[in-house]
Amino acid sequence: MTKASLGAGNVEITLDGETAVLKPTLLAAQTISRQAGGIIAAVEAAAKFDVDAVTGVIALGLGRKPTEVAEAVWSTGIADLAPKAIEFLTILANGGRRANGGEEKANPRTSE
């Protein structure tokens, strides 16, 4: 089994012209799931360009509050951020790991 390097589930975005990294955490997964009624519901909301849903996903991925990133999300554009938010949600649904074609999944939170 090959283990992923630390941060393998991270998703890089450009937010208001700056590079930022969404980091998958259990807290982010739980909060999004509770707020949206499940990860799939959050994916559907992001796919519909729901501003609040995408802002919430980006904020949780950055470990910040939605009010702290709302203006930057708006400036960047929901159409640009929604695909990255969906990618991040998929990683959260997979325990913080990227899908790897059916092979045994590595844990990105360990460096071994």
Sign of the CA dihedral with 18 first, then 24, 26, and 31 last = positive
In a domain, 106, yes or no: no
* Residues 33, 93: Cα–Cα separation, whole Å: 9
In a domain, 98, yes or no: no
In a domain, 110, yes or no: no
Q: What is the pTM of this model?
A: 0.83
In a domain, 108, yes or no: no
| Count of domains observed in the chain | 1
* Residues 2, 19: Cα–Cα separation, whole Å: 28
Residues of the chain where predicted confidence (pLDDT) is lower than 50: 1-2, 101-106, 108, 110-112
Sign of the CA dihedral with 35 first, then 77, 23, and 60 last = negative
In a domain, 60, yes or no: yes
In a domain, 104, yes or no: no
What domain range includes position 74?
Answer: 13-93
